[in-house]
Structure formats: structure tokens, C-alpha cells
Amino acid sequence: MSTPTTAHIDIHRAGDRMKTRVAWLDSKHSFSFGEHYDPDNTHHGLLLVNNEDIVLPGEGFDTHPHRDMEIVTWVLNGSLVHQDSLGHAGVIYPGLAQRMSAGTGILHSEKNDSWRLPRDQGGTAQHAEPVHFVQMWVVPDEPGITPGYQQLEIDDELAGGGLVTVATGMPRYRDRAAIAISSSHSALHVARMPGTVAGTPAVVTLPEAPYLHVFIARGQVDMEGVGTLYEGDAVRMAHSGGQRIVAENPAEVLVWEMHARLGGQ
């Protein structure tokens, strides 16, 4: 794997993403995915998939296979029911960090079963709602690892408004990350920015890395040297970092920090 030597910043607007729309699914793809293929847009660093999905109640992805991929799911609104061939079953909701290591092979399903959940989790017909989430795939250090699953609630950490390390295999973050992934060259950080408080807007500073992918999951922000970014916009950066992101109103930002890239492509 090689790294870039000169700074480079690309802005990718929300409306330019590839889209999959069926009766129950509204999916927007930051990179080539499924039947949508662009040879010039297959990945950035080690990040291959950044899909923003909205799934209607009672619908979802039936059981399907994955191999040799670290899959991180981040829910913005609603809840997503996960079940897999290892026997894991759970509900993913906002503030819950979750990853699945596909490794040698795993089957799983993801459904919006909101009206079937226990009553204290909104499980009534009148509380059924679409689930809105971002699913991200990164390449593991090596193929053929043992499949696995991990989740942890981090609402309290996110309440601070700064960048929270959600998932990583990087030694520098391992002790403070919510969940582990089998990638020693990448880390996902999330900031749930509160907006202006007591006259001062929320600010986070990007880490420095050979590759950064900044995705505006919710709201609107201003990024130093880039300008205004809106919900669904992304910035791909090479040999950069240190820029400030400012939010005058509530916003949620997902940042992949990567110190390698896929196969030198």
C-alpha cells in the first residue's frame, strides 16, 4: 500500500451520488455499488462503501452473504434489526456503535421491524417509522479472519460534541475506541455537533492523515479551506488534515481517518 505525497481535496455533493430507489428503499451511494459502477469512483483510501439508506417500516435487506470486509453501521433515525448466521441478533439505534467482521463468510439480514419491537422501544403501529442509516465498508488488514460482531452504546460520549472514535484497529486509538475493527490503518470518528451554544458555534478539528473521508450525515457545516457543506456532501482528502469544521446549527459528521489505501490503485 502506498500513500500520496501532495495535498488534495475533492468535494462530492449529495446530489451527484449514485442512487438506488425501489418501493421500500432510498439508497444513495458515495462509491460504486451493486449495478452502479464508475471505474473512477470505486474507493477512497480503504473505504469502499458509504451508503446512506432509508428503509420503510416492515421492510429491509433479506439474508445475504458477505466476505472479507469490515462493515460499520451508523443509525441516524429509527432502528434497524440485525440478525446473522453466528447467532447475533440486536437492534441498532442512534448512538449505538456497531460493526460486523465478515471474514471467511457470514450471512445476515437488516430489517426495519420498528412496530414489532418491545413497547418501551417504540413497538406500536403509531410509532413505526423509517430507519435512516449510513453503512460503511473498509478493507481488513488480511483476508480470512474469523467472522465477528460487536456493538456498544456511546450516547454519553457523543453528547460532548467533539470527535468520538467509534471504530478502529489503529494502536493509537485502541484504548479509547468504542468498537474494534480488523484494520490497523483506519479509524471512524463521529461528531454530533450541538451548534451554537452561548454565542459560540461548535468546532471540531480534523486529524491529519494520508487519507480522510468527511461525510455530513446531518445538518450543515462550514469547513476551513472548503466552504459550506450540506447534508449528504462528502470531502475526500489526501495528505491533509488539521482543518476546522464549524457548525452554527446541530450537525452530525462522520470522519474516516486512513493511513493506507487499497492495493495502490
Q: Evaluate whether residue 5 is within a structural domain.
A: no
SS3 sequence of 79-106: CEEEEECCCCEEEECCCEEEEEECCCCE
Residue 108 marked as a ligand binder: yes
Which one, of 152, 136, 140, lies nearest residue 188 by Cα?
136
64 known member of a binding site: yes
* Ordered DSSP codes for 111-142: E--GGGS-GGGT-SGGG---EEEEEEEE--SS
Mean per-residue pLDDT, 147-153: 93
Domain range for 142 is 10-258
pLDDT at 264 over 80: no
**Does 139 map to a domain?**
yes
Structural domain contains residue 2: no
Nearest-angstrom CA–CA distance, 30 and 261: 17
Is 185 annotated to bind ligand? no
What is the model's pLDDT at position 183? 96
Supply the mean pLDDT for the chain. 92
Output the pTM of the full model.
0.92
Average pLDDT over residues 183-205: 97
To 10 degrees, the CA torsion angle through 119, 121, 124, 127? 150
Is residue 132 included in any domain, yes or no?
yes
239: annotated binding-site residue? Answer: no
In the prediction, which pLDDT does 118 show?
A: 54
Report yes or no on 111 lying in a domain: yes
- How many domains does one find in the chain? 1
| Closest alpha carbon to 243 in 223, 219, 264, 216 | 223
Summarize pLDDT for 67-87 with one digit per residue, the tens.
999 999 999 999 999 988 988
Residue 32 maps to which CATH number? 2.60.120.10
In a domain, 15, yes or no: yes
Per-residue pLDDT, 245? 98
The tens digit of pLDDT for each residue in 204-234 reads 999 999 999 999 999 999 999 999 999 999 9
Asked whether residue 177 is domain-assigned, the answer is yes
Helices (H), the chain: 155-158
* pLDDT surpasses 50 at 12: yes
DSSP 155: H
pLDDT at 8: 92
Residue type, 140: P
Residue 1 belongs to a domain: no
